[in-house]
Amino acid sequence: MSSSGTPTSRFPSAVYADRISRASALAREAGLDGLLITPGPDLRYLLGSRAESFERLTCLVIPASGDTATVVVPRLELASLAESAASELGLRIRDWVDGVDPYRAVAELLPTPARTAVADAMPALHLIPLASALGSLPVLATAVLRELRMIKDDDEIDALRRAGRAIDRVHGRMGEFLKVGRTEAEIAADITAAILEEGHTEAAFVIVGSGPHGADPHHEVSERVIESGDVVVIDIGGPVEPGYNSDSTRTYSMGEPDPVVAKRFAVLEQAHAAAVGLVRPGVTAEAVDTAARDLLAAQGLADAFVHRTGHGIGLSVHEEPYIVAGNSMELAEGMAFSVEPGIYFQGEWGARIEDIVIVTADGCEPVNTRPHGLGVLPG
């Protein structure tokens, strides 16, 4: 935050210095020689950089030895580092021009052969020549960086709260947009504008799933016209500065719902509440998934719940931890993730309730506070 309280594009440089130092230490513990981070969420987390990935290599090289990190960057892209914390941290900048081998430049900063881990978002365009220059195939840095990115600090939590409030304000305006006779696409256009108006830098996704389209969890929008009696799933989100995302789903009924719809939705509400109510340190991710799934199964709706209960969120909309069967990871204070059970009936309708929650010392804090019930709009 700036001194005026206005969100800024990145955190203070000391935050990034600490992250790079801890990343180096974790790489050392993992038996690596270094981390190679190309543009994407990991680079933004470690350096506050919004650089993009092009055919020319940009790479943050973090030695596990604790030596000063280096940014290998095309001279054409030096300006992309201006907004990052690179200069304030005193990182070495090794720029290169066309005709120079940037992969060799990276390899020269590490032992040969080097044991390295690369950002998940690194394109194969860069991974293959880097592996050749390094003399060994890198592994993914997921296991190292997830230990940092999963546990949000106070600034990150504040950003997620602001994102949650912003998307709640959009859901609070749904009566302006969601009306019988309008198409999903028309409604989505208005929602997209509202997402920006309410403080996001972009609309990362807008799902308007009406009637049978609501039975497809990843339906986006179409030219289908909203009809009286429709059940409509609205799943929306996007980033707020400095890049932390919102993600919230509510389900609406165009007019009073059919009794069967109302009964099944009430069970979904109970499943959502059961899952949220279980979240606290020490509980496993899969236990939260089971809490929602078992309640739905007890009411004969097991087959209607076709996806995991949640996903981590931060600089990426989907990141670890994943709230899914088989994930025995114990929740810890500072983790942030969605809780979003859903029920889907192919060719008929679907429903989902989604909040982002942050694990606290003795439970969790939902950042979304809109009512969870089926929102009834004029039909």
Q: Given this model, what pLDDT does residue 226 score?
A: 98
C-alpha dihedral (56, 60, 63, 68), degrees to nearest 10: 120
> Is 37 within a domain?
yes
What 8-state DSSP symbol labels residue 309? S
Instruction: Tell me: do 209 and 166 sit in the same domain.
Output: yes
Does one domain contain both 127 and 184?
no
Residues 233 and 105 in one domain: no
Series of mean pLDDT values for 10-residue runs along the chain (379 residues): 51 96 97 97 95 94 96 93 91 96 97 94 95 95 93 97 98 98 98 98 98 96 98 98 97 98 98 98 98 98 98 97 98 98 98 98 98 97
Residue 250: C-alpha distances to residues 31, 71, 253 (Å): 45, 43, 10
Q: Are residues 363 and 243 in the same domain?
A: yes
Q: Within a domain: residue 81?
A: yes
Cα–Cα distance measured from residue 13 to residue 127, given in angstroms and rounded to the nearest whole number: 29
**Do both 205 and 321 map to the same domain?**
yes
Indicate whether 138 and 260 sit together in one domain. no
CATH code, 94: 3.40.350.10
For residues 239 and 144, membership in a common domain is answered with no
Q: Provide the residue range defining the domain that includes 367.
A: 154-377
The pLDDT assigned to 219 comes to: 97
Task: Specify the pLDDT at position 3.
Answer: 32
- Within-domain flag for 339: yes
Strands, E assignment, 188-335: 205-210, 231-237, 239-240, 244-245, 248-254, 310-312, 319-323
Domain match, 192 and 102 both: no
The per-residue pLDDT for 8 is 64
> Cα–Cα distance between 152 and 334 in angstroms, integer?
5
* pLDDT attached to residue 5: 42
Per-residue confidence (pLDDT) for residue 83, from 0 to 100 = 85
* CATH number (domain holding residue 184): 3.90.230.10
What pLDDT is stored for residue 7 in this prediction?
52
> Residue 129 to residues 100, 104, 118, 375: CA-CA distances in angstroms?
13, 9, 13, 53
Give the per-residue pLDDT at 141: 95
